Amino acid sequence: MDAGLAAVIGAAIGTLGGFGGGLVTAMSQGLQQRRQRQIDRELRLEEARRNAYGKCINTSKQVSAAWWKLAASLRAEGSTEEQWREPAADAHAAWAPFSSAVAEVTVVGPAFVADAADALRRAMYALDMAGTAWHEAARQAGVGRLEDFDAQYMQAVEVKRAPGGAFQAAARRALQAES
């Protein structure tokens, strides 16, 4: 083998080695970039879920608190329609952010958390309807202390506790926050 042929073969081997090394490097980088994109996507989804779940819990508490304020006002001896007006408006206004938060949960999922959020929404709707019925009856009667409506409201308060706890448990499970 003469020196010229050896040089050509050596150059060809070097070129193929360089090309092969470059190809392996490019494939490895592509795989790493795909893995990083998947990790980033998972982190964004987890953050979106944390935010949505927290918002749902927070707004459900706001709805409950607003109805408790109205219930206290309705129960107050000698209270008037004028005294019920602001807490009633606050209770009604609290519903839209809660409903929106539940919708957000259904978007970010997963399905078992969305189902738990929907069960909570239905329970909160029953609370909202019981409070609304009590307020309307009080306005018509001119007196807030209406025992039957108070009892229906308290029953709705009790019924919403289980779906509230179930939603929180589902959120913890989805976020793998169980200890």
CA distance 127 to 153: 6
CA distance 122 to 134: 18
Q: Is the dihedral of CA 178, 157, 77, 142 positive or negative?
A: positive
Per-residue pLDDT of the chain (179 residues; tens, 9 = 90+): 677 666 656 665 666 566 666 655 656 676 777 887 888 888 899 999 999 999 999 999 999 999 999 999 999 999 999 999 999 999 999 999 999 999 999 999 999 999 999 999 999 999 999 999 999 999 999 999 999 999 999 999 999 999 999 999 999 999 998 76
User: 124 with 160: CB under 8 angstroms?
Assistant: yes
pTM for the structure as a whole: 0.81
